[in-house]
Amino acid sequence: MHPTWDIFCTVVDNYGDIGVTWRLARQLHAEHALPVRLWIDDLHAFARLCPAADPEADQQWQQGVDIRRWSAQWPPVTPAEVVIGAFGCRLPPDYLQALTQRPTPALWLNLEYLSAEDWVQGCHGLPSPQPNGLRTVFFFPGFTHGTGGLLREQGLIQRCTAWQGDGDARQAFLARLGVHADPAARLISLFAYENDQLGAWLQALVEGSPPTHVLVPEGRILGDLNAWLGDTLTVGDVRTVGALTLQVLPFVSQDDYDSLLWCCDFNAVRGEDSFVRAQWAGRPLLWHIYVQEENAHWEKLEAFLRTYRHGLSDPAAQALTDTWRAWNMDRDMAQAWRAMQPHWGELQAHALEWRARQAAQPDLATALVQFYRNWL
């Protein structure tokens, strides 16, 4: 008998939490044949990522995963043998009470946010006793041995490489989204939070070379884009200014978003889920990290840059660092972007080398399954 798994997810204000937990749930089922229940407090957010889902259903099956509504009225259920509370969410009191009454203890894991900070390795796998007699264990995704690794499905890199080498598949996918880019244009995806430096970056693209076609999935950055353009673009609209073409895309499923990242030459991403998927795309990227009070997120940004830049020449590493800091710290994005262009080829090669290094480590789902087996 395979152990049962419960994963709890609260949707805060974006799609990162549900994006990570949905990917994890379906990988645990598809690759490890595990029965998984995914408890979600906002099924409307889930339905954006999984269009087949019914946002009004209390219970449904999607891709082999038992999707449950996490409502204020908690239903009586038997707790699973492995319980994952994602990103510090508080489990329902009735569920915790039921956990204390299990005849055999469950493994309760607190899946933490992704970070490259040095302290993560020391905290990964540490237990935390609870007042009710239960014990939770901290489980940290990460980029180094001694962490839980990154979400990566079996064969992901091979599928991406094959896709990127198939010009017909790429063009057919883009055409389905209404994208008909100039073959000479550099294709960029832009998925970001609100950002005061967007206008400076777009102006640099207007005046730059080669021509650029920026694909913008509908989202929070659209307001800043329209303010700079002095227009009101909606899904399907295309505008060209100088060397820059802007196009607004619909919000797409997770699988289609992966394909979009694979199609592009450069990916601007935000949060956690799209950040990891852009790394698997093997293309240069720009991360818009989720803003925290007192700029605490800057430490996470700098920690990743210290890790990611390893292997780059000093000039390329500095240009990359300056661009990420400009985007996240409200510095001159136009100047930083222009200074990065001479290093484009090196950054392309480095993105592939980084992907290969990360793919050589165990993936997060496998690490979780192995941790449970070792715990027994």
DSSP code at position 314? H
- CA torsion angle 78 84 89 95 (round to 10): 10
Give pLDDT tens digits along the chain (376 positions).
789 999 999 987 667 789 999 999 999 999 999 999 999 999 999 998 899 999 999 999 999 999 999 998 999 999 999 999 999 899 999 999 999 999 999 999 999 999 999 999 999 999 998 888 889 999 999 999 999 999 999 999 999 999 999 999 999 999 999 999 999 999 999 999 999 999 999 999 999 999 999 999 998 999 999 999 999 999 999 999 999 999 999 989 899 999 999 999 999 999 899 999 999 999 999 999 987 777 788 899 999 999 999 999 999 999 999 999 999 999 999 999 999 999 999 999 999 999 999 999 999 999 999 999 999 7
- Would you tell me how many other CB atoms lie within 10 Å of the CB of residue 99? 20
Query: Active-site residue among 6, 41, 42, 272?
Result: 272
Q: Return d(Cα 91, Cα 24) in angstroms, integer.
A: 18
Query: Rounded to 5 degrees, what angle do the CA atoms 83, 86, 89 make?
Result: 100
DSSP state letters, 320-373 = HHHHHHHHHHT--HHHHHHHHGGGHHHHHHHHHHHHHHHHTSPPHHHHHHHHHH
What distances in angstroms separate CA 30 from CA 1, 11, 33, 65, 154, one per listed residue? Answer: 16, 24, 6, 9, 10
Q: Return d(Cα 353, Cα 349) in angstroms, integer.
A: 6
Contact 168, 210 (CB under 8 A): no
pLDDT digits (tens, 9 = 90+) for 121-155: 999 999 998 888 889 999 999 999 999 999 999 99
Assigned token pair, 354: 């980084």
Put simply, whether the predicted model's pTM sits higher than 0.75 gets the answer yes
pLDDT digits (tens, 9 = 90+) for 195-243: 999 999 999 999 999 999 999 999 899 999 999 999 999 999 999 999 9
pLDDT digits (tens, 9 = 90+) for 5-23: 999 999 876 677 899 999 9
Active site residue 272: yes
Query: Active-site residue among 6, 17, 66, 346?
Result: 17
Active site residue 42: no
293 burial type by CB count under 10 A (0-12 exposed, 13-18 middle, 19+ buried): exposed
Contact 310, 215 (CB under 8 A): no
